[in-house]
Amino acid sequence: MDLTRAELLEAYRKLRRIRSFEDKLGELVVAGKMGGFMHLYAGEEAVAVGVCTQLGDKDTVTSTHRGHGHCIAKGVEIAGMMAELFGRATGVCKGKGGSMHIADIERGMLGANGIVGAGIPLATGAALTARIKRTGGVAVAFFGDGATNQGAFHESLNMAANWKLPALYVIENNGFGEFTPTEFVVPVKDIAVRADSYAMKSLIADGMDFFDVYAKAAEALAYCRSGRGPVLLECKTYRFAGHFVGDTLVYRDKEEAEDWIQNRDPLQNFETQVLEASLVEAEALRRIDLEVQEEIAAAVESAEAAPWPDVAETETDVYVEDGG
């Protein structure tokens, strides 16, 4: 692993930022302070951070209904995100998108998406732009195991492989499509094998291990950037909080869930590895924990104090007015 101490600390900060952000959202929704459908990314942090840490300004990502983690990993500001989730005028999307459509195009974050699988062709299109405009960029689509059963997934992979587009398709296989265990609806053990149908390179990573995701993503991104075509990367992971906030989790095996949460937590996993290898000190991590806590508290405070959108905003931004 070629990560410097500063890079490791930055990676940890992002892992912690996602976890604390999502934990806070859970509290706010349960307390009735925040509305809408809320899908939390806690448990899957190593995937977004392991991949996005290696992306630059020219690279774009598309996301899912579980999209806050990808935003944070791609560098979207916490304050603007929090204000968006509170539906305020100062939100990163002016309060018009909310959790399922949170986006920041300036940072190459092409949006969470409320339609399962819809981000996959969008990323394919971003990869086509990178190819035709020769930007040198790569497009990354994050999506769940459920999305791999959509036609959009198969159509996109076929086109991207055929055109050798610089696209990385990242499956976040968290074991459930909404409430249905993946093995109930998918006849293959490793979804990555679906790449074979498109003569596409595929890799499998332990999605609970930042370092494994990082290494596999590094290999995949190098392959994409070299012009050899797209890669399908399957990350085996687990969502700690269920499908959405309020999920009763009755469909989940309690012991299995406990095992994932207690023994395979990606933050704990990261900490154990960096401490054992003496790459960073525990105090540095605790300091980050504190800083992140304060950052999120400040984001909540400023969001709650921020103005609501003017109702006239309901009808703006439907069209580009000067677009004719």
Partner 1 sequence: MSRKLSLGMAVNEALRIAMETDPDVILMGEDVAGGGDRKGDDVDEMGGVLGTTRGLVKAFPDRVLDTPISEMGILGTAVGAAATGLRPVVELMFIDFLGTCLDPLLNQAAKLRYMFGGNARVPLTVRTVTGAGMQAAAQHSQSLYWITAGIPGLKTVIPSNPADAKGLLLSAIRDDNPVVFCEAKLVLGVSGEVPEGDYEVPIGKAKLVRGGNDVSLIGFGGTLPICLQAAEQLASDGIEADVLDLRSLQPLDEDAILATLTRTGRVVIVDESTPRSSVASDVAALCVDRGFDSLDAPVKRVMAPHSPVPFSRVLEQAFLPSAARVVEAVRSQV
Q: Does 132 bind partner 1 (CB under 8 A)?
A: yes
Tell the smallest beta-carbon distance from residue 128 to partner 1 (Å).
5
Q: Which of 20, 54, 60, 99 binds partner 1 (CB under 8 A)?
A: 60
Tell the smallest beta-carbon distance from residue 39 to partner 1 (Å).
16
156: phi then psi, degrees, rounded to nearest 5: -65, -45
Question: Which two structure tokens, joined as six digits, stand for 197?
Answer: 């149908």
Q: Which of 73, 123, 168, 292 binds partner 1 (CB under 8 A)?
A: 123
Q: Does 101 bind partner 1 (CB under 8 A)?
A: yes
Q: Which of these segments, 3-11, 36-44, 69-77, 106-114, binds partner 1 (CB under 8 A)?
A: 106-114
Residues 155-184 binding partner 1 (CB under 8 A) are: 155-156, 158-159, 162-163
**DSSP-assigned states of every residue in 72-141:** HHTT--HHHHHHHHTT-TTSTTTTSS-GGG--BGGGTB----SSTTTHHHHHHHHHHHHHHTT----EEE
Helix 210-225 to helix 45-52 angle, to the nearest 10 degrees? 40
Q: Does 57 bind partner 1 (CB under 8 A)?
A: no
Which CB sits closer to partner 1, 225 or 271? 225
Tell the smallest beta-carbon distance from residue 73 to partner 1 (Å).
18
Which CB sits closer to partner 1, 161 or 205? 161
- Separation between Cα atoms, residue 45 and residue 238, nearest integer Å: 10
Q: CB atoms < 10 A from the CB of 70, how many? A: 31
The owner of tokens 């971003």 is 126
Within 8 A by CB and 6+ apart from 222, the residues are none
- The contact set with partner 1 (CB under 8 A) reads 60, 62, 91-97, 101, 103-106, 110-111, 113-115, 118, 120-130, 132-133, 139, 151-152, 155-156, 158-159, 162-163, 316-320, 322-324
